[in-house]
Amino acid sequence: MEFENLHPQTEESSEDNNIDFRDVLDKYLIYWKWFVLSVIICVLLAILKLNFSRPVYEATSTIKIKDEKGGDKSALSAFQDLGIMSGTKENIDDEIEILKSKSIISETIKSLGLNIKFFTHKNSISSFLDNNLGMDTEFYEQERYLTPPLKLNFFVTDSALYKMNLNFIISIHSSNSFSYIDKVNDNITRHTFGEKISANGTDLIIIPNIDLKKYNLIGKNVLVQVSSLRDLTNAYLESLTIEPKAEFSSVLSMTLVDSDMRKAEDFLNELVNKYNERAIALKDELTESTSNFVTKRLEIISNELSNVDLTAENIKTRYKISDVASETGLNMQSGQAIESQIVQANMQLQQIESVKDFVSTKDDNELIPVDVGVNDNSVSGTMNQYNELMMQKKRLLETSTEKNPIVVNLNEQLKTLRSNINQGLDNLKASQTISINALNKQDARINSRLYSAPKQERQYRDIQRQQQIKEQLYLYLLQKREETAITLGVADPNAKIIDYAESYPGPIAPKKKIFYLFAIIAGLLIPFSIIYLLDALDSKVHTREEIEKVLNIPILGDIPKLEKKERFLIKKEDHSSIAEAFRILRTNLNFIIDSNIKGKTIFVTSTIAHEGKSLVSSNLATSLAHGGKKTLLLGMDIRAPKLEAYLDVRGEKGITNYIIDPSMQLEDIIVRPSNTDNLDVISSGDLAPNPSELLMNVRVKELFQKVKEEYDYIIVDTAAFSMVTDTMLLSNLADAFIYVIRANYLDKRLLKYIKTIHKEKRLPNLSLLVNGVDHKKSYGYGYGYGYGTNFDRLKKKPWHKLFSKG
């Protein structure tokens, strides 16, 4: 060990105060076995997880939502900021919500019978755990969607079946028999196929659905899962993704994730079918409402026409009128055009009144008939808008309630539109009445020319006019009824399939490479986090570097940690790491004490008890004695002496006896160990009730003056500095102080106490010694003690391995 390492770095000689990443790395690498073990465990858990996870597939489909209003939406998408296309996106969002509604998803599940699943064949790991370790994993990897092996007939209603959650195993013995295994109640019963059995509170019959022998299911188990419709609906709702291909686009991309690729494809296709069925049903409802209105009006008009025809017949019979046209002559010809207009105007007025009456008396959730004779574009447009909002409201009510904010908003809009329709019909009626009055005035002028005509002729002409009105209205309604019937028969779906559902060939999850990578990362992070947390919570001093960061005090060296909790004293031919450490300490003493001083007095102390003062004192003194130096080991820790345990020697009298008894001589208290030359020991003596006062006695100073003349080195074992004042009372007698800091024991906060002692110069010529350093947690030679460690290890190796690597 070089002497430069005795002194801490100053600001001028410091190379860099930044974090040494090699030191940080070394701090974690000493626990490399834990990292390896953690990675192995995490990888094993990943293997188990992957083997107990069914592969997941993804199916995609593309559909186009029908634009009821027509036109190219994408061409107007640039005007979104002006609010021109705001309704388009909202309409697509509404259709997406309808597609994802629980009611349609539930209907799809019912249609495909997805509430009952069959699983067969355990994988290799599951079979190994079951067959060799006696476990029952109940993990069956293969789902039988296309070829379900069994058919279950439950003796319950569909509504009750869709609420069930069952999980049981069918063990197939032959083509005719099986065992029903109820894991919940731990019950096994044997049955034949087709036999009515009672299980889990319900009755059912199980029959084969395929040739069990052909599919190699004889002697195998089949896991049957019956899931409630509510749970399945929520699960599919989470797995289903629907979004537009582009902004303002009516083309939607549908994606579903499922454990069976064919099942995912069938679900998406069936979901579109159920959506179209729902849309067609709503359109049929509108058409049927219009058809019912027209039919009722036809009945009324038919009765009125019959009454008018009967009245005309009676007048002809009563007044014997044969040919009115020939009798009226030219006067009638001039009035025909006006009469035709009056007939048309009165027909429209009656239609307006009938529609107004319907709107005023209809139910709030009832649609308004369209194309029934209201020729005003504004009113017709408002009625069409009303029906569109009403259909949207009905779709939303299938998945929500009247309290839904969207439904409340639609009700307000419908109320406003209904008021606008009534106002528009009132305006039309007033306008039509004005037109009829004007036509009647023109007709009155023509009638004045027929003043001389017979009364019978005028009566007949009025009846004929009413007859023409009823006939034209009747024919018009017949035409509308046929148009409505045609519309009802050709109602087209709301969604057009562009690309039918198709699955990716491979599973999208779990991704094994990513899973293993995550396992390795987790295996590294877990011990790293634990070590980091323990290090953050650790308040003990562990390494020499930690001391050097706080204290600007020379460090004489460090003493390795003893492998066993026992007293240790080095021997002359000892080549262990701790013996080498004390030899290096013996050498380094020459750098802190002037070689010309006679009787070099070295005090050994520490902050608190149990830091190894007695260990250092006894071994340092022994090392100096082995080096040919006449050495005295003086036990001045008169409160808790421990030197006897290390040297296995103790005099009958000691320091305390010498101080108290003036007649006692130095030779009376000196003890010489039999196995160590050049070493004398003076123990602490009898325990005194007043140690501090005792150490202030003048005989203490006289004792040190005498021994300085006779010995090369005086090693003094003192009391802990922070606990009592004993050491402070003797500090002026020391040539140097060795301050022992025990690694993994002393609190880091007490380093500030040592810093204060040094700053205030309470202890002369102070140097530090780190005790209990664990060199197994360091790399290379550490602070120079690798030789001793390697020597011990090499001694234990066979001769042919002494020159092997490592």
Per-residue DSSP letters for 49-92? HHHTS--BEEEEEEEEE--TT-S-TGGGGGGGGGTTTHHHHHHH
Of the ranges 31-40, 59-68, 397-406, the best mean pLDDT one = 31-40
CB atoms within 10 A of CB 680: 22
> What pLDDT is stored for residue 11 in this prediction?
41
Mean pLDDT of the region 168-188: 89
What is the Rg, in whole angstroms, of the alpha carbon atoms belonging to the chain? 54
Residue 84 has pLDDT above 50, yes or no: no
What is the model's pLDDT at position 89?
58
Residue 777 has a pLDDT of 62
pLDDT given for residue 722 in this prediction = 82
Greater confidence, 769 or 504?
769
Q: Which range has highest mean pLDDT (97-111, 446-460, 465-479)? A: 97-111
Position 662 pLDDT exceeds 80: yes
- Residue 542 pLDDT more than 70? yes
> What pLDDT does 783 receive?
42
Name which residue leads in pLDDT, 219 or 415: 219
pLDDT at 776: 67
Listing DSSP states for 379-416 in one string gives HHHHHHHHHHHHHHHHHHHTTS-TTSHHHHHHHHHHHH
Q: Is the pTM of this model over 0.75?
A: no
Summarize pLDDT for 682-736 with one digit per residue, the tens. 988 888 778 888 888 889 999 999 999 999 999 999 988 887 788 888 889 999 9
pLDDT digit string, tens, across residues 497-517: 999 999 988 888 888 889 899
- Euclidean distance between CA atoms 729 and 693, whole angstroms: 10
* pLDDT, average across residues 282-293: 78
In this prediction, residues 68-88 reach a mean pLDDT of 42
- For residue 788, name the pLDDT band (cuts at 50, 70, 90): very low
Evaluate if residue 269 carries a pLDDT over 90.
Answer: yes
The closest of 478, 376, 360, 369 to 424, measured between CA atoms, is: 376
pLDDT value for 727: 84
On the 0-12 / 13-18 / 19+ scale of CB atoms within 10 A, 342 is: buried
pLDDT above 90 as % of the chain:
33
Helix, strand or coil, per DSSP, at residue 192: strand
H/E element, 767: strand 766-773
For the ranges 213-217, 246-250, 773-777, the lowest mean pLDDT is seen at 773-777
The region that residue 527 occupies, defined by phi over 0 for left and psi between -120 and 50 for alpha, beta otherwise, is alpha
CB atoms closer than 10 angstroms to residue 502: 15
> Closest Cα partner for 193 from 182, 181, 204?
204
Assess contact for 271 and 67: CB atoms under 8 A: no
**Cα–Cα distance between 309 and 464 in angstroms, integer?**
8
- In angstroms, the CA 183 to CA 223 distance is 11
* 8-state DSSP, 300: H
Which range among 44-53, 382-391, 752-761 has the greatest average pLDDT? Answer: 752-761
Measure the CA–CA gap between 461 and 473, rounded to whole angstroms. 18
Question: What is the model's pLDDT at position 565?
Answer: 65
Least confident of 339-343, 542-546, 585-589, 621-625: 339-343
- Token pair 């020939």: residue: 326
Residues 142-172: tens digit of each pLDDT: 899 999 999 999 999 989 999 999 989 999 9
Rounded distance between C-alpha atoms, residue 147 and residue 78, angstroms: 51
Predicted pLDDT of residue 94: 86
Mean pLDDT of 294-320: 76
Per-residue pLDDT band for 200 (boundaries 50, 70, 90) equals confident
